[in-house]
Structure 1
């Protein structure tokens, strides 16, 4: 039941990039050993300095820094009453490009409103009774209201502390009948109650013996009335989906316009329950042992119950928001296909600008390969066109169509047309009469063709799909919440765009933090390699200043940036090793390396320069050098530049350009470069560069480096690479 482990490209690319950094560190490790041996350094210094290179290039703080975005997004989700039991899934939500929704309780309200009854009046003729009945008055129905009797007895309700509890649909219908239930158990027969063939026998009162089973799209009860003279006459009442009840009924008891009436109600979005009966010559002992398949046949149709399932007020707005963001929306439900299509049209999953078609199969027609024939049926005109596999491929790929399919036809496609399955799941927008296993199969099919899938549902029949999806979002605190990584206490789909926005924020934050940490480590790697050339390195407190004041605070600054309020139509990149990411890191590193090398050579050519002469011993003051000071000051500006460039703002995060954090660090770096106080010089242990003009020139070089880095990021990475990728 627990959500499956996340298998996400970003995580795989992360390990590959770390391996790449390790090879760079290996190069620096070998370089350090060679030059330090040439300079006759001690073995102790060679080992320490060589290992320093590895910790610089592959920073130990990387895992903690990478989790900052996820932690902060998770905290923001909790404030929205969305709880996550698998935080690693949050990054995956940033890549979601298709959202699947259950219908009842997810897109529509939890409860159902009773609409009408349509009863069959014997003898069977062409039509049902001519008008709907919105009240259950037995005098208005044939056979003394036997349809109402069936509704009042065929349920799974029970009394707890004097109140009825059970399935909401059963509760609505029972209350509408006006009947009262007195729940007692006959002591004489209580010991005889057993479980046979998955059928539970239970006395609900002194009048009724009940068989209940809630699977297979139907449930049945066997009732007896002690007031009847015969003790061997019982009645089976069965209710369920119109298709299932039709398959169990005697065809002579079914009006000719049954399917037309069912389609008519379904097209208006009503949920339909068909009701049937059968007289049985059984006593209680036999009824308690009879298998259901022996009695659920040759039923007599009693009528239809129509219930209205209203769309939630927020549903249409959320679906439109997802559509504008170019995130595909799909309905996956166990309800009637036409009912599902009606709700899909109402909430915006099926758009009015496109033609809606049903994909169906002909049970009585096969093609030359012995496969059941598939048909396309336009919903409005109800005109059928038979399609072969070849023609169907062209039709199914047609972008002007919006297709819908039912579970039985989906099973036919899976079994007989596997070559169409990938195309089918990529274009169908409504999947109805889907079993829990078929829902899971659909999710797996979407993942197979590289969709990143979110599934939102509220029932136990959604558990398999919630577990299979990249991001399962449960609107229930019951079984579904165990299988789903996310659970929303607000039982509507407004949580879906919130999860996607926070996922995008966490994803781009993770991208930014990683590119910043990689850039920071390679920047410090360049600084240290240059200083190793003169047998020098940064001082301990210079390392501490960079790691604590700059790097740690920047990592926190990344994670605290909230998600954008709107859902962009442009998805964030999901590949860490994409051309844009690699070009960004390599380009910034090249600019930084050239600027540091320029400063390193420039200082050495100044007339006031005193070359570094490493003294004997391990004196801490031995690390003071003008070139070390210049590279340290230069690198502090470069760390800030990397933070600003890699902290992507809109459209995924709120703008961070005018945040106070980067500007505070910039001013501190400016002060310690241009006007270093005495205690700073003592604490950081560096030789200040003489003459203000020279220090100002160093700041100008840092500013030019910042401008070049920004232009490279905007002009090359974002414009040439990312925009060309979108085109």
Structure 2
């Protein structure tokens, strides 16, 4: 089967539930987290002092109610949360030991919550304002002229400590939310008590409170009421008199008074949604008003800050405040020209930032905000309303021609539609949706993070484009319309998740920026030392006090350059611009630098490495009674006798007819404007038959038991094409029509799809199944499998062909009631095997070239596919992802299966079955004596090998194998086949757990989880922005991968170059000024102006203009500032610059023309030989530092390709003014003597 699932989406919130964050929190008090008991299951932490219990099925994702937690992970993480409690900023309050009633125990003051969709661990702590503390806060702000306000704004925890007092969540006025984004856990060496790869974030949020007066279940759903009845006295659904809500990052949480915590309401379901018929009733006005209170309006409305708010946020940034202080300092020192220039630059910078921010937010608001008119069923009548008024439970019409996009997340109730979901998944193939059935309703509101395929085929996602929506076929009823029910609205929808991912991108865990700011703090310490030294020296020289303070403080502005943060983003911005020109778009700029560190890349196969379209090579059917495969039928007309050839009496043509009928009916195609839409494999298969296809529309719903269901589609043979075996035998000629009565969509776990088909003029019916050859053993009668089944399958899969197996079952008597009640298990059992359909899966033109380029760059390539393992190996070898001369070992279960913890694996080479691996170490066993001596020497070398692993073996190794086997599998595995979407996701996380920087490239269909989990995810999609991945390429091949890596490496190197240049600039100027301060001299106003504005700034900017080097090399750029490789050369260059200035400073004093500075206690003397010498020497040091640090190959182009930088260097190297040229010549001539 195809790897893509055109009728389903596997999920858009692709984060596995984590047991805990390794972060520690200031405000979390573990005593507040009283255990929630579950009658079904409890997972207990091994720390007796901090026991947490897992309640399955909860939707809140709270730590004491988190489903599917791994107990080992949970035990490992508990130590970290305890660390946070011990370091708690606030005193720990002792809470009473609770019974199960939230009303009878002391309320908790804080809670920990894990939000799966955002991969966030947050702590919510309740506070109230303390009057005395608030008064002190206001007074200190006034008395310090706003300085206290700034300090407490930058250090919000201090403000909370001063103003707030801890209060129970039920009574608090506002809350503090502390955030950790839990990055993947590395090996034990990389994990510390406080994870150093996490950025903490804290915010203060107000609560919304309003009168409500409805039952708890209307807010939290029915499942939160499945508790012990003693909690609620006599009422099973107590009244919630006040609705307390908390909106954080556009996620709404509601306070549950019984559970005494805030819970998410994003997966709320109405208890009445038990059948399709009940869902079609709609809501009355009172219910709509009540649900709007709980869920808000159906708007993705991004809060737009005013110009004043943006100005305040930007201007009050610590670096701008530092600049303001510097401007005041320079003005007091009469550096007016320089201060004015810096002021104008700051104003331009702030203005530019405001304009860009406003424009970006405006574009995002335009993309996210959508409002249209919809027809809604309310109080039993249809009325036109705005889509912003929709609430969960509303029933609206989707067959309205004016409706072009779905305004919310919903379920299709009646009719059918075809939609384009590329914005969400990157899947360019249109997706068909069919009405929901009762059996799928129980999947609504489950706490799983993945959208079940059984539900996704009925689910309508907000923002997806409607290609076609058809009304149901209701006999003569022309009033029937296609209906959908609203499930989620606003930011709770998938489109809301996409917008949130743009507003709050996931931190990359990249340490460069954190190290840069640490370096700044070190330089600030150096500045403090310089301040003290200068202060003492100036006092010794007897300078005026105002001059002492001004000069000493001026050193701080020199050592800590305010422009440093801006220069660190130069390389990233240039890289993004170059990528955009190549049709590669990025919604997460910080991922660009991460792309430069990739050392492993996982590729999907179909649609990524190979073409989407598959050409049918032919069909091979089973010959009975010989029980062997026939020759290849390269034309569908060759399957049945007719004009092309005479009937062979030894052939059972019923098998030929059945496989032809399978290809004509077992697919998920839809017809729009005469064009077939659907999975490319299905399209090619159906076109191979030359049949005609006609859709008949869907019935109103499964709950309408009165009317028998008609076929959803009819397949007809081409005119003149003989398809009836009876006709050959002389029976009456009647037209053939195959009607699809019921479909079981492709499910990745089952790896097959099936249809129930009725034939015109027949009282019986048939089940036709197509799927992976591996699954046929489970569903087919073993007696119908040919003797050469495995041999033929191996023959084609070894050569890279795609093989689909077909099977059938005849039902002698079939009525509509049987069809209605038929389950998938009944339909797909006791089948008769028919044969193989063989597809050619051609590589894309760019695949081999890109794989070879990545191999040469020593970047490991891995295939991760849902296809057959032998086919995957063949494709991998064809594109050189696997060495063609290397052994490839494939595991098989020797005992048991993937469900058996005691199962045993046997690893054998597919090239020579005599070669095996040790099952405990995955190391090659000695080559047997009978090994084929004719093999080439490099193939005979068993140590040259790779692994190919199937999904079931991958699952068993992760769950039951010893760690050594898992590590070896991850280290040597090159092909991972038959992988489900969830297993692809887990594979990426496993690679990351062993310190790989992992990228994933896929078409977005079933790869959403892996794309988002990867350090760098690249989706091949037509959409500019996709929730599937941070990078999206409109070029539909993997040529985008080396481009991202090249630009990532160039951006990373540029960031390091700019950082080191700004560090050198600070050190050089600090040295010059320090030497001059020794004699109470200084640089002049225009000298500072020339250095900072006309020399350093252009060099720093144009240094980042250099493009990426076209060839990827095996060497990778460093990503850590705190390393000897970076700091040693930097310190060496700083010392060299200091030494050169020191030589100039000493030498100039010995010259006959030396003009010593005249001591002036009121102002600095700048007209002296020391000033001229140090200014000239330092100016060339700035220029030469830029040249030295402008790194070229192997990561960036050579300097000569950067014309603006070359012009800047040449221009700034020329002395300006006759007097200066004369002074430079004199100084340089004397220094040579």
TM-score range, shorter chain: 0.7 to 0.9
Distance across 1 between alignment mates of 2:1225 and 2:897: 92
> Does 1:94 pair with 2:596?
yes
> Does 1:645 pair with 2:1188?
yes
Q: Residue in 2 aligned with 1:238?
A: 769
How far is the alpha carbon of 1:263 from its aligned partner?
Answer: 1.5
Q: Residue in 1 aligned with 2:353?
A: none
Q: Residue in 2 aligned with 1:632?
A: 1175
> Does 1:227 pair with 2:227?
no
> Does 1:21 pair with 2:523?
yes
**8 Å Cα contact 1:194-1:201 kept in structure 2:** no
Distance across 1 between alignment mates of 2:597 and 2:697: 56
> Does 1:132 pair with 2:665?
no
Distance across 2 between alignment mates of 1:559 and 1:225: 69
Most deviating of 269-278 and 137-146 = 137-146
How far is the alpha carbon of 1:399 from its aligned partner?
Answer: 5.2
1:347 corresponds, among 879, 888, 896, to: 879
**8 Å Cα contact 1:463-1:479 kept in structure 2:** no
Spell out the pairing of 1:580-591 with structure 2 (5 A cutoff). 580-591=1125-1136
Q: Residue in 2 aligned with 1:654?
A: 1197
CA distance 1:142–1:546, shift in 2 (3 Å): same
CA distance 1:662–1:497, shift in 2 (3 Å): closer
Distance across 1 between alignment mates of 2:570 and 2:1134: 24
For normalisation by structure 2, the TM-score amounts to 0.52
Q: Residue in 1 aligned with 2:816?
A: 284
CA distance 1:144–1:601, shift in 2 (3 Å): closer
**8 Å Cα contact 2:542-2:1161 kept in structure 1:** no
Q: Residue in 1 aligned with 2:685?
A: 173
**8 Å Cα contact 2:998-2:1014 kept in structure 1:** yes
CA distance 1:360–1:31, shift in 2 (3 Å): farther
Residues 609-638 of structure 1: CA distance to partner in whole angstroms, max 9, x if unpaired?
2322243545xx843332122111110111
Paired residue secondary structure (2:1114): coil
Paired residue secondary structure (1:301): strand
CA distance 1:670–1:264, shift in 2 (3 Å): closer
CA distance 1:222–1:654, shift in 2 (3 Å): same
How far is the alpha carbon of 1:298 from its aligned partner?
Answer: 1.9
Q: Residue in 1 aligned with 2:670?
A: 158
Residues 469-508 of structure 1: CA distance to partner in whole angstroms, max 9, x if unpaired?
1111111236994322222211111111121111111111
CA distance 1:310–1:298, shift in 2 (3 Å): same
2:1061 corresponds, among 508, 516, 530, to: 516
> Does 1:694 pair with 2:1227?
yes
Spell out the pairing of 1:391-540 with structure 2 (5 A cutoff). 392=923, 400-419=944-963, 420-477=965-1022, 481-540=1026-1085
Distance across 2 between alignment mates of 1:236 and 1:372: 35
How far is the alpha carbon of 1:547 from its aligned partner?
Answer: 0.9
1:70 corresponds, among 557, 561, 572, to: 572
CA distance 1:191–1:676, shift in 2 (3 Å): closer
Distance across 1 between alignment mates of 2:656 and 2:925: 55
**8 Å Cα contact 1:640-1:665 kept in structure 2:** no
Distance across 2 between alignment mates of 1:348 and 1:355: 13
**8 Å Cα contact 1:201-1:288 kept in structure 2:** no
Paired residue secondary structure (2:623): coil
Spell out the pairing of 1:2-401 with structure 2 (5 A cutoff). 2=501, 4-123=506-625, 125-129=626-630, 131-137=631-637, 138-139=639-640, 141-143=653-655, 145-185=657-697, 190-193=699-702, 203-205=712-714, 207-215=739-747, 216=749, 217-228=751-762, 230=763, 233-280=764-811, 282-364=814-896, 371-383=902-914, 385=916, 387-390=918-921, 392=923, 400-401=944-945
CA distance 1:113–1:664, shift in 2 (3 Å): closer
Distance across 2 between alignment mates of 1:384 and 1:399: 11
How far is the alpha carbon of 1:365 from its aligned partner?
Answer: 8.4
Paired residue secondary structure (1:389): coil
CA distance 1:629–1:372, shift in 2 (3 Å): same
**8 Å Cα contact 1:644-1:657 kept in structure 2:** no
How far is the alpha carbon of 1:113 from its aligned partner?
Answer: 0.2
Count, aligned residues? 674
CA distance 1:145–1:383, shift in 2 (3 Å): farther
Distance across 2 between alignment mates of 1:408 and 1:480: 34
Paired residue secondary structure (1:214): strand
Most deviating of 35-44 and 575-584 = 35-44
**8 Å Cα contact 2:917-2:924 kept in structure 1:** no
Residues 542-566 of structure 1: CA distance to partner in whole angstroms, max 9, x if unpaired?
1111111111111122111111121
Task: Return the structure number with greater helix share.
Answer: 1
Paired residue secondary structure (2:1192): coil
**8 Å Cα contact 1:211-1:222 kept in structure 2:** yes
Distance across 2 between alignment mates of 1:443 and 1:456: 11
**8 Å Cα contact 2:508-2:590 kept in structure 1:** yes
Residues 129-184 of structure 1: CA distance to partner in whole angstroms, max 9, x if unpaired?
3x111112342543461111111111111221232211111111111112112222
Paired residue secondary structure (2:755): strand
How far is the alpha carbon of 1:40 from its aligned partner?
Answer: 4.3
How far is the alpha carbon of 1:238 from its aligned partner?
Answer: 1.5
Spell out the pairing of 1:706-721 with structure 2 (5 A cutoff). none
Residues 378-400 of structure 1: CA distance to partner in whole angstroms, max 9, x if unpaired?
112233636331464889x9851
CA distance 1:11–1:404, shift in 2 (3 Å): farther
CA distance 1:146–1:66, shift in 2 (3 Å): same
Paired residue secondary structure (1:589): helix
Q: Residue in 2 aligned with 1:561?
A: 1106
Report the RMSD for the aligned CA atoms in angstroms: 2.9
Distance across 2 between alignment mates of 1:617 and 1:29: 19
Most deviating of 330-339 and 258-267 = 258-267
CA distance 1:584–1:210, shift in 2 (3 Å): same
> Does 1:623 pair with 2:1166?
yes
Distance across 2 between alignment mates of 1:115 and 1:288: 36
How far is the alpha carbon of 1:295 from its aligned partner?
Answer: 2.6
Paired residue secondary structure (2:629): coil
**8 Å Cα contact 1:436-1:465 kept in structure 2:** yes
Distance across 2 between alignment mates of 1:650 and 1:47: 47
Distance across 2 between alignment mates of 1:677 and 1:664: 22
Residues 567-589 of structure 1: CA distance to partner in whole angstroms, max 9, x if unpaired?
12222222222212111110011
**8 Å Cα contact 1:374-1:386 kept in structure 2:** no
How far is the alpha carbon of 1:665 from its aligned partner?
Answer: 5.7
Most deviating of 386-395 and 65-74 = 386-395
**8 Å Cα contact 2:950-2:978 kept in structure 1:** yes
How far is the alpha carbon of 1:36 from its aligned partner?
Answer: 3.2
How far is the alpha carbon of 1:265 from its aligned partner?
Answer: 1.1
Q: Residue in 2 aligned with 1:708?
A: none
Distance across 2 between alignment mates of 1:545 and 1:71: 26
CA distance 1:383–1:135, shift in 2 (3 Å): farther
Q: Residue in 1 aligned with 2:156?
A: none
How far is the alpha carbon of 1:46 from its aligned partner?
Answer: 4.0
Q: Residue in 1 aligned with 2:1149?
A: 604
Residue segments in structure 1 that go unaligned for 5+ positions in a row: 682-687, 702-727
CA distance 1:284–1:46, shift in 2 (3 Å): farther
Q: Residue in 1 aligned with 2:231?
A: none
CA distance 1:36–1:181, shift in 2 (3 Å): same
Paired residue secondary structure (1:105): coil
CA distance 1:282–1:272, shift in 2 (3 Å): same
Distance across 2 between alignment mates of 1:154 and 1:336: 20
